[in-house]
Amino acid sequence: MPRIQFPRLIYRKQIVMPTEHGSWPWLLVPFTVGIGVAGQFNLAGLLTLIGGLAVFLMRQPATVWMRARRGRARAADGPIAAGWIVTLALVGAVCLVGLLALDRAVMLWLAGPFLVVLSLYLIAARYGRSHLRSLWMELAGAATLSMMAPAAAIAASGRIDSLAWALWGLMAAQSVLGALYVRLRVADTHNRPMTRWPVLAAHVGGLLFIVGMGLASAAPLATAVPFIGFLIRGGWAAAKPRPVDNIKQFGFIELGVEIISGLWIIASYWLI
Protein backbone atom coordinates (compact mmCIF):
# COMPACT_ATOMS: atom_id res chain seq x y z
CA MET A 1 0.00 0.00 0.00
CA PRO A 2 1.51 3.38 -0.96
CA ARG A 3 2.13 5.80 1.85
CA ILE A 4 -0.06 8.87 2.04
CA GLN A 5 2.09 11.97 2.02
CA PHE A 6 0.60 15.32 2.91
CA PRO A 7 1.84 18.31 0.96
CA ARG A 8 4.91 19.69 2.67
CA LEU A 9 3.66 23.25 2.28
CA ILE A 10 0.42 22.78 4.24
CA TYR A 11 2.41 23.93 7.22
CA ARG A 12 5.07 26.54 6.81
CA LYS A 13 6.32 28.44 9.80
CA GLN A 14 6.42 31.69 7.84
CA ILE A 15 2.71 31.40 7.04
CA VAL A 16 1.34 30.21 10.38
CA MET A 17 3.58 31.41 13.20
CA PRO A 18 3.88 35.10 14.16
CA THR A 19 7.16 36.65 13.09
CA GLU A 20 7.38 38.61 16.36
CA HIS A 21 8.47 35.96 18.86
CA GLY A 22 8.13 38.44 21.71
CA SER A 23 4.37 38.66 21.18
CA TRP A 24 3.74 35.24 22.76
CA PRO A 25 4.28 36.49 26.35
CA TRP A 26 1.85 39.36 25.65
CA LEU A 27 -0.85 36.70 25.25
CA LEU A 28 0.12 33.91 27.64
CA VAL A 29 1.40 35.88 30.64
CA PRO A 30 -1.79 38.01 30.92
CA PHE A 31 -3.92 34.86 30.59
CA THR A 32 -1.93 33.18 33.37
CA VAL A 33 -2.30 36.27 35.56
CA GLY A 34 -6.06 36.35 34.96
CA ILE A 35 -6.43 32.69 35.88
CA GLY A 36 -4.08 33.02 38.83
CA VAL A 37 -5.90 36.00 40.31
CA ALA A 38 -9.30 34.39 39.71
CA GLY A 39 -8.04 31.24 41.41
CA GLN A 40 -9.67 28.70 39.11
CA PHE A 41 -9.25 27.20 35.66
CA ASN A 42 -12.50 25.83 34.26
CA LEU A 43 -13.88 24.79 30.88
CA ALA A 44 -14.68 28.41 30.03
CA GLY A 45 -11.07 29.30 30.74
CA LEU A 46 -9.83 26.53 28.45
CA LEU A 47 -12.12 27.69 25.64
CA THR A 48 -10.89 31.25 26.18
CA LEU A 49 -7.28 30.15 25.87
CA ILE A 50 -7.88 28.07 22.74
CA GLY A 51 -10.05 30.75 21.14
CA GLY A 52 -7.55 33.48 22.01
CA LEU A 53 -4.71 31.46 20.52
CA ALA A 54 -6.74 30.87 17.35
CA VAL A 55 -7.41 34.58 16.87
CA PHE A 56 -3.79 35.39 17.74
CA LEU A 57 -2.48 32.92 15.16
CA MET A 58 -4.95 34.10 12.53
CA ARG A 59 -3.11 37.38 12.06
CA GLN A 60 -0.03 35.88 10.39
CA PRO A 61 -1.82 33.87 7.66
CA ALA A 62 -4.22 36.78 7.13
CA THR A 63 -1.23 39.05 6.58
CA VAL A 64 0.38 36.56 4.19
CA TRP A 65 -2.89 36.16 2.27
CA MET A 66 -3.29 39.91 1.94
CA ARG A 67 0.30 40.35 0.80
CA ALA A 68 -0.04 37.51 -1.71
CA ARG A 69 -3.10 39.16 -3.22
CA ARG A 70 -1.16 42.41 -3.55
CA GLY A 71 1.78 40.68 -5.20
CA ARG A 72 4.03 41.31 -2.18
CA ALA A 73 4.36 37.62 -1.30
CA ARG A 74 4.48 34.36 -3.25
CA ALA A 75 1.21 33.66 -5.03
CA ALA A 76 1.40 29.99 -3.99
CA ASP A 77 1.25 31.06 -0.34
CA GLY A 78 -2.17 32.65 -0.77
CA PRO A 79 -4.31 29.44 -0.84
CA ILE A 80 -2.34 27.92 2.03
CA ALA A 81 -2.79 31.03 4.12
CA ALA A 82 -6.51 31.11 3.27
CA GLY A 83 -6.87 27.53 4.47
CA TRP A 84 -5.28 28.41 7.80
CA ILE A 85 -7.50 31.46 8.15
CA VAL A 86 -10.63 29.34 7.69
CA THR A 87 -9.36 26.62 10.05
CA LEU A 88 -8.43 29.05 12.82
CA ALA A 89 -11.66 30.99 12.34
CA LEU A 90 -13.64 27.77 12.78
CA VAL A 91 -11.71 26.95 15.96
CA GLY A 92 -12.44 30.42 17.29
CA ALA A 93 -16.11 30.14 16.36
CA VAL A 94 -16.46 26.77 18.12
CA CYS A 95 -14.86 28.25 21.26
CA LEU A 96 -17.21 31.24 21.09
CA VAL A 97 -20.26 28.98 20.81
CA GLY A 98 -18.98 27.01 23.78
CA LEU A 99 -18.55 30.18 25.83
CA LEU A 100 -22.06 31.32 24.95
CA ALA A 101 -23.40 27.93 26.00
CA LEU A 102 -21.57 28.36 29.32
CA ASP A 103 -23.32 31.72 29.84
CA ARG A 104 -20.22 33.82 29.09
CA ALA A 105 -21.88 36.16 26.57
CA VAL A 106 -20.44 39.11 28.52
CA MET A 107 -17.07 38.25 26.98
CA LEU A 108 -18.32 39.56 23.63
CA TRP A 109 -17.41 43.01 24.96
CA LEU A 110 -13.76 42.00 24.60
CA ALA A 111 -14.06 40.80 21.01
CA GLY A 112 -14.26 44.30 19.52
CA PRO A 113 -10.68 45.44 20.27
CA PHE A 114 -9.26 42.16 18.95
CA LEU A 115 -11.10 42.57 15.66
CA VAL A 116 -10.15 46.24 15.37
CA VAL A 117 -6.43 45.53 15.80
CA LEU A 118 -6.60 42.56 13.41
CA SER A 119 -8.20 44.85 10.82
CA LEU A 120 -5.46 47.44 11.36
CA TYR A 121 -2.82 44.78 10.77
CA LEU A 122 -4.49 43.78 7.51
CA ILE A 123 -4.63 47.39 6.39
CA ALA A 124 -0.96 47.84 7.30
CA ALA A 125 -0.08 44.66 5.39
CA ARG A 126 -1.18 46.38 2.18
CA TYR A 127 1.63 48.90 2.57
CA GLY A 128 4.54 46.63 3.48
CA ARG A 129 6.44 45.27 6.45
CA SER A 130 7.53 48.68 7.69
CA HIS A 131 3.92 49.57 8.48
CA LEU A 132 3.32 46.21 10.16
CA ARG A 133 6.32 46.73 12.41
CA SER A 134 5.68 50.36 13.26
CA LEU A 135 5.88 51.39 16.89
CA TRP A 136 2.20 52.23 17.17
CA MET A 137 1.10 48.90 15.69
CA GLU A 138 3.37 47.10 18.15
CA LEU A 139 2.03 49.00 21.14
CA ALA A 140 -1.57 48.49 20.01
CA GLY A 141 -0.93 44.77 19.69
CA ALA A 142 0.66 44.60 23.14
CA ALA A 143 -2.27 46.39 24.79
CA THR A 144 -4.86 44.33 22.94
CA LEU A 145 -3.29 40.95 23.68
CA SER A 146 -3.22 41.96 27.34
CA MET A 147 -7.01 41.62 27.26
CA MET A 148 -6.41 37.92 27.80
CA ALA A 149 -6.07 38.81 31.50
CA PRO A 150 -9.62 40.14 31.90
CA ALA A 151 -10.87 37.46 29.51
CA ALA A 152 -9.46 34.74 31.77
CA ALA A 153 -10.91 36.37 34.89
CA ILE A 154 -14.34 36.76 33.28
CA ALA A 155 -14.24 33.16 32.03
CA ALA A 156 -13.57 32.00 35.59
CA SER A 157 -16.21 34.12 37.33
CA GLY A 158 -18.82 34.62 34.61
CA ARG A 159 -19.03 38.38 35.21
CA ILE A 160 -17.27 41.53 34.10
CA ASP A 161 -16.28 43.79 36.98
CA SER A 162 -13.63 46.19 38.21
CA LEU A 163 -11.16 43.34 38.73
CA ALA A 164 -11.22 42.51 35.04
CA TRP A 165 -10.50 46.09 34.00
CA ALA A 166 -7.77 46.44 36.65
CA LEU A 167 -6.03 43.33 35.31
CA TRP A 168 -6.17 44.74 31.81
CA GLY A 169 -4.61 48.00 33.01
CA LEU A 170 -1.82 46.18 34.84
CA MET A 171 -0.95 43.82 32.01
CA ALA A 172 -1.31 46.41 29.25
CA ALA A 173 1.08 48.70 31.13
CA GLN A 174 3.57 45.86 31.59
CA SER A 175 3.43 44.78 27.93
CA VAL A 176 3.61 48.31 26.51
CA LEU A 177 6.57 49.28 28.70
CA GLY A 178 8.31 46.02 27.83
CA ALA A 179 7.76 46.66 24.12
CA LEU A 180 9.23 50.16 24.39
CA TYR A 181 12.26 48.94 26.33
CA VAL A 182 12.97 46.10 23.91
CA ARG A 183 12.50 48.34 20.89
CA LEU A 184 15.01 50.86 22.28
CA ARG A 185 17.61 48.18 23.05
CA VAL A 186 17.19 46.60 19.60
CA ALA A 187 17.46 50.02 17.95
CA ASP A 188 20.72 50.60 19.82
CA THR A 189 21.99 47.20 18.72
CA HIS A 190 21.38 47.98 15.04
CA ASN A 191 22.43 51.64 15.30
CA ARG A 192 18.97 52.84 14.37
CA PRO A 193 17.87 56.28 15.59
CA MET A 194 15.16 56.36 18.25
CA THR A 195 14.11 59.24 20.47
CA ARG A 196 15.03 58.22 24.00
CA TRP A 197 13.15 60.54 26.34
CA PRO A 198 9.63 59.22 25.46
CA VAL A 199 10.72 55.78 26.68
CA LEU A 200 11.66 57.20 30.07
CA ALA A 201 8.51 59.35 30.18
CA ALA A 202 6.36 56.30 29.44
CA HIS A 203 7.98 54.37 32.29
CA VAL A 204 7.39 57.24 34.70
CA GLY A 205 3.77 57.51 33.55
CA GLY A 206 3.33 53.74 33.83
CA LEU A 207 4.52 53.68 37.43
CA LEU A 208 2.32 56.66 38.35
CA PHE A 209 -0.66 54.95 36.71
CA ILE A 210 -0.17 51.74 38.72
CA VAL A 211 0.45 53.65 41.96
CA GLY A 212 -2.72 55.63 41.27
CA MET A 213 -4.63 52.37 40.85
CA GLY A 214 -3.25 51.19 44.17
CA LEU A 215 -4.12 54.38 46.03
CA ALA A 216 -7.63 54.23 44.57
CA SER A 217 -7.94 50.59 45.76
CA ALA A 218 -8.44 49.47 42.15
CA ALA A 219 -5.48 47.10 42.53
CA PRO A 220 -3.11 46.08 45.35
CA LEU A 221 -0.47 48.75 45.87
CA ALA A 222 2.15 45.98 45.86
CA THR A 223 1.59 45.53 42.12
CA ALA A 224 3.64 48.71 41.66
CA VAL A 225 6.84 46.93 42.74
CA PRO A 226 7.67 45.44 39.29
CA PHE A 227 7.00 48.83 37.71
CA ILE A 228 9.62 50.40 39.95
CA GLY A 229 12.06 47.90 38.46
CA PHE A 230 10.79 48.70 34.96
CA LEU A 231 11.41 52.41 35.60
CA ILE A 232 14.96 51.79 36.82
CA ARG A 233 15.91 49.74 33.78
CA GLY A 234 14.03 52.12 31.48
CA GLY A 235 16.03 55.04 32.83
CA TRP A 236 19.25 53.03 32.47
CA ALA A 237 18.44 52.24 28.82
CA ALA A 238 17.34 55.79 28.02
CA ALA A 239 20.49 57.37 29.48
CA LYS A 240 22.70 56.29 26.57
CA PRO A 241 22.85 53.60 23.83
CA ARG A 242 22.83 50.09 25.28
CA PRO A 243 23.43 47.57 22.45
CA VAL A 244 22.54 43.94 23.09
CA ASP A 245 25.38 41.42 22.84
CA ASN A 246 23.20 38.34 22.35
CA ILE A 247 19.69 38.92 21.00
CA LYS A 248 18.48 35.38 21.74
CA GLN A 249 19.67 35.55 25.34
CA PHE A 250 18.14 39.00 25.66
CA GLY A 251 14.78 37.60 24.50
CA PHE A 252 14.84 34.85 27.12
CA ILE A 253 15.74 37.36 29.83
CA GLU A 254 12.78 39.53 28.84
CA LEU A 255 10.51 36.48 28.91
CA GLY A 256 11.72 35.74 32.42
CA VAL A 257 11.13 39.33 33.52
CA GLU A 258 7.53 39.23 32.27
CA ILE A 259 6.85 35.88 33.95
CA ILE A 260 8.32 37.01 37.28
CA SER A 261 6.34 40.25 37.14
CA GLY A 262 3.17 38.30 36.36
CA LEU A 263 3.76 35.96 39.29
CA TRP A 264 4.34 38.96 41.57
CA ILE A 265 1.02 40.48 40.47
CA ILE A 266 -0.77 37.20 41.23
CA ALA A 267 0.86 37.02 44.65
CA SER A 268 -0.08 40.66 45.34
CA TYR A 269 -3.75 39.78 44.91
CA TRP A 270 -3.53 36.60 46.94
CA LEU A 271 -1.77 38.27 49.87
CA ILE A 272 -4.21 41.15 50.36
Domain boundaries, the chain: 9-270
Residues 100-110 have a mean pLDDT of 87
- In the three-class reduction of DSSP (H, G, I as helix; E, B as strand; rest coil), residue 148 is classed as helix
Give residue 111's pLDDT.
74
* HEC secondary structure over 155-209: HHHCCCCHHHHHHHHHHHHHHHHHHHHHHHHHHHHCCCCCCCHHHHHHHHHHHHH
In angstroms, the Cα distances linking 267 to 38, 194, 213 are 12, 36, 17
Give residue 59's pLDDT.
82
Question: What is d(CA 153, CA 146) in angstroms, rounded to the nearest whole number?
Answer: 12
Give residue 11's pLDDT.
60
Between residues 182 and 126, the one the model is more confident about: 182
Does residue 214 register a pLDDT over 60?
yes
Residues 81-105 have a mean pLDDT of 91
Does residue 137 register a pLDDT over 90?
no
Residue 225: pLDDT band by 50, 70, 90 thresholds? very high
Between residues 12 and 101, the one the model is more confident about: 101
- Minimum mean pLDDT among 76-90, 149-163, 187-201, 238-252: which range? 76-90
Give residue 84's pLDDT.
87
% residues pLDDT > 70 (the chain): 85
In sequence order, which ranges of the chain are alpha helices (DSSP H)?
13-16, 23-38, 43-69, 77-101, 111-125, 129-132, 135-145, 148-157, 162-189, 197-215, 225-239, 247-270
Does residue 198 register a pLDDT over 60?
yes
Residues 257-262 have a mean pLDDT of 96
Residue 149: pLDDT band by 50, 70, 90 thresholds? very high
